[in-house]
Amino acid sequence: MNRVLNKTSLRNLTGLIQRFQSTLVVAEHNNDKLTPITLNAITAAGKLGGDVSCLVAGTNCAKVVEEISKVQGVKKILVAQHDSYKGALPEELTPLILETQKQFNFTHICAGASAFGKNLLPRVAAKLDVAPVSDIIEIKSPDTFVRTIYAGNALSTVKCNEAVKVFTVRGTAFEAASAEGGSAASEEVASTPPAGVSEWLEQNLTKSDRPELTSAKVVVSGGRGLKSGENFKLLYDLADKLNAAVGASRAAVDAGFVPNDMQVGQTGKIVAPELYIAVGISGAIQHLAGMKDSKTIVAINKDPEAPIFQVADYGLVADLFKAVPEMTEALSK
Amino acid sequence: MSGRVLVGVKRVIDYAVKIRVKPDNTGVVTDGVKHSMNPFCEIAVEEAVKLKEKKLVKEVVAVSCGPQQSQETIRTALAMGADRGIHVEVSGKDYETLGPLQVSKIMAALAKKEDAQIIILGKQAIDDDCNQTGQMTAALLDWPQGTFASEVTLDGDKIKVVREIDGGLETIKINTPAVLTADLRLNTPRYATLPNIMKAKKKKIANVKPADLGVNLTSKLEVLRVEDPPQRQAGMKVETVEDLVGKLKESGKV
């Protein structure tokens, strides 16, 4: 009887504590559109059980604020618009986040584990004198997270006893929050004086009509076996039939076949599509780290001993230069 | 000409080793396993040595935090062309909980003590995969950061950094002193030649304790459990492209 009582009161207490959780999601955007990984981060933030606020900082925030105001699960949007936030430099955004933290006392601060989130959040954490947690794939409780280590070859469950939990979220590990049905109110927060120690000059983005790699339902990737950049055309043709994004192994990037933002792996992008087709990729540890959570994996490789076949649901031992055009042809029917 | 560059180097399990999780789920097996310098740190060392060869910096100091064996990693950096080493000795329990927060405090303290103008680190260690130490070091020093750098150009008291970002590349200009973290594409690290390995034995490695630097190693992160990731079900081999497309259509994937 006593035990039951204790359990119940403990649960109530946990509930009470959870009500006091409050999470700040730092929104990633390009002043025009919200970056999709922010929606995955909002879902992760929602799992903590408390209120979720979203910080939008930039040179032009109106469109993004409107977009987030409809996202389900967001309670409040904090807006900081100033020219000094051009290029989302961490030297400028960190003081803003610290100011916001001072005002609202969040228990959690998070962002997607993209180049943006990885660049910014550790800087914020150091300023708060707390140890951050990178690229989490699961939230067990408000202070306990699961993340991968050793290129995805081990799962580490960490308990964070810091006063403020600062973490980045692996986008592919959480569903995207619905972009409809929310009704968050927005309020301005004071922008901080420019730090002026860094300056954003330019961006060179790879242009493509295909879906974005990390959020595509189907990904076709090529490796060293493609032999040249021109031969990637075979994969683009197949990808077009499947409405797929095209990725690459590190070997293909290092050989100069394709630009490095196409790289899938521990040091590139982490993807988890419905279907991943690995063509001419041996399946090195570093590559597997980026794709082994895909729902279905297909491998096309002429080497029957290639490690990729150990993770592939369907493996075809064949010359890719024959098999890929055949596959494109078969899918056209 | 800038003065001094600090390069952080970490000793990790070699990238080609298939790791094993300990049966008691407290971590991964490290005893008797091949270790080497973290690949991103090699790139950082190479970049620092290149800056020195171009006579843009005067001295390159390699720093590693960890047990006695970390000195081997420092020796490797010295053989690649670093001028001297600093071994910040951390062992036993402290080493088990040594994370980016503690290392960045050590790096920041050393940067001040050594009057460094540039710190170059790898973008991440391939064991903890944190990708935090450079950013945190920059924060503690209030220096700008040029992370995931694929091109670095020193330009007077500024540094132009081309960064690898999600959609492509981005160029920023940051003031010195600054912290840089190296991405894979920054350079191709050189191999240390035998004569250089011999010469490196004569170079000095200073031994420092975190306490000497006023750094407290207490950690508030606790690893509860380390385990194997879920294993994928063994798949099947198909004979022809028709089979493959048929199977994918059956399962509704295409």
Chain A residue with Cα closest to B127 = A150
- Does the N-terminal peptide bond of residue B177 adopt cis geometry, omega within 30 degrees of 0? yes
Helix (H) or strand (E) holding B226: strand B221-227
| Helical (H) or strand (E) element with A92 | helix A90-104
Q: Which residues pair with B85 in a beta bridge?
A: B62, B205
Minimum Cα–Cα distance from A206: chain B residue: B168
Partners of residue B223 on adjacent β-strands: A158
When pLDDT is cut at 50, 70 and 90, the band that residue A8 belongs to is: low
Residue in chain A closest to B99 (alpha carbons) equals A131
Confidence of residue A10 (pLDDT cuts 50, 70, 90): low
Class of CATH domain A22-188: alpha beta
**CA distance linking residue B164 with residue B148, whole number of Å:** 6
The three-point CA angle B148-B152-B158 to 5° equals 110
Scan for tokens 């003065």, then name that residue.
B3
Residue with tokens 């790096």: B107
pLDDT per position as a tens digit, B86-115: 999 999 999 999 999 999 999 999 999 999
Q: Taking the CB of residue B232, how many other CB atoms lie within 10 A of it?
A: 15
Q: What is the model's pLDDT at position B168?
A: 92
Q: Are A150 and B129 in contact (CB < 8 Å)?
A: yes
User: Which helix H or strand E contains B147, and what residues bound it?
Assistant: strand B145-155
Helices (H) and strands (E) in chain B, counts: 7, 13
CB atoms B171 and A149 under 8 Å: no
Amino acid at residue number B213 = L
B chain contacts of residue A259, beta-carbon cutoff 8 Å: 168
What phi and psi, each to the nearest 5 degrees, are found at residue A202? -160, 170
> Which of A122, A202, A316 lies nearest to residue B244, judging by beta carbons?
A316
With 0-12 / 13-18 / 19 or more C-beta atoms within 10 angstroms meaning exposed / middle / buried, residue B195 is exposed
- Which chain B residues are within 8 Å of A309, Cβ to Cβ? 235, 237
Nearest CA in chain A to B238: A316
CA distance A244 to B231: 26
Using a CB-CB cut-off of 8 Å, the residues of chain B touching A160 are 220-222
A with B: how many residue pairs have Cβ under 8 Å apart?
245
Asked if the Cβ–Cβ distance from B100 to A250 is below 8 Å, we say: no
**Whole-angstrom Cα Rg for chain B:** 21
User: Which pLDDT band holds residue A1 (cuts at 50, 70, 90)?
Assistant: very low
Interval B5-35: pLDDT, tens: 999 999 999 999 999 999 999 999 999 999 9
Q: What is the pLDDT of residue B44?
A: 98
Of B165, B47, B140, nearest to A200 (Cα)? Answer: B165
Are A317 and A302 within 8 A, CB to CB?
A: yes
CB A199 within 8 A of CB B172: yes
Among A6-20, A24-38, A104-118, A261-275, the least confident range: A6-20
Identify whether the C-beta of residue A191 lies closer than 8 Å to the C-beta of residue A82: yes
**In terms of residue numbers, what domain contains B18?**
4-251
Question: A22-188 and A218-331: same fold?
Answer: yes
The Cα of A235 is separated from the nearest Cα of chain B by a number of Å equal to 15
Confidence of residue A187 (pLDDT cuts 50, 70, 90): very high
Distance CA A271, CA A265 (A): 8
Is it the case that residue A253 has pLDDT exceeding 60? yes
CA distance B131 to A77: 28
**Span of A188-192, B6-10, B157-161 with lowest mean pLDDT:** A188-192
CATH assignment of A218-331, among 3.30.365.10, 1.10.10.10, 3.30.450.20, 3.40.50.1220: 3.40.50.1220
Residue A234, pLDDT > 90, answer yes
Numbered residues of the known binding site of A for FAD: 224, 249-250, 263-267, 280-287, 301
Measured between alpha carbons, how far is A313 from A296 in angstroms, rounded to an integer? 6
- Of A90, A127, A242, Cβ closest to residue B145: A90
Kindly determine whether residue A312 and residue B235, on different chains, have CB atoms separated by under 8 Å: yes
Chain B residues in contact with A332 (beta carbon < 8 A): none
What dihedral angle (degrees, nearest 10) is formed by the CA atoms of A83, A88, A94, A99?
40
**pLDDT classification of A46: cutoffs 50, 70, 90:** very high
Q: What pLDDT is recorded for position B167?
A: 87
Pick the residue of B12, B136, B228, B249 with the most A CBs within 10 A to test the interface with A by mutation: B136
Q: Residues 6 or more apart from A20 whose CB is under 8 A from it?
A: A50, A107
Q: How many domains does chain B have?
A: 1
Banded pLDDT at A292 (limits 50, 70, 90): very high
Closest residue in B to A112 (Cα–Cα) = B166
Question: Beta strand B2-8 with A22-26: parallel, antiparallel or unpaired?
Answer: unpaired
Phi, psi (rounded to 5 degrees) for B15? -60, -25
Both structure tokens of A79: 């807006």
Q: What is the ipTM of this complex?
A: 0.96
Specify whether the CB–CB gap between A296 and A274 falls below 8 A: yes
Nearest to A162 among B135, B220, B242 (CB): B220
Residue A98: is it exposed, middle or buried by C-beta count within 10 angstroms (0-12/13-18/19+)? middle
Shortest CA gap A3–chain B (Å):
26
Query: Which residue of B175, B248, B249 is the best one to mutate when testing the A interface, meaning the one whose CB has the most A CBs within 10 A?
Result: B248
Q: How confident is the model at residue A20 (pLDDT cuts 50, 70, 90)?
A: confident
pLDDT value of residue B234: 77
Task: Find, in chain B, the residue whose alpha carbon is nearest to that of A315.
Answer: B237
Across the interface, which of B19, B175, B183 has its CB nearest the CB of A153? B19
CB contact under 8 A, B226 and A155: yes
Contact state of B253 with A201 under an 8 Å Cβ cutoff: no
Q: What are B236's two structure tokens?
A: 């099947």
Average pLDDT over residues B137-150: 98
Cβ contacts of A314 on chain B, cutoff 8 Å: 235-238, 244, 247-248
Could you tell me if B179 and B187 are in contact, meaning their C-beta atoms sit under 8 angstroms apart?
no
Do B238 and A314 lie within an 8 Å CB cutoff? Answer: yes
Query: So where are chain A's domains?
Result: 22-188, 218-331
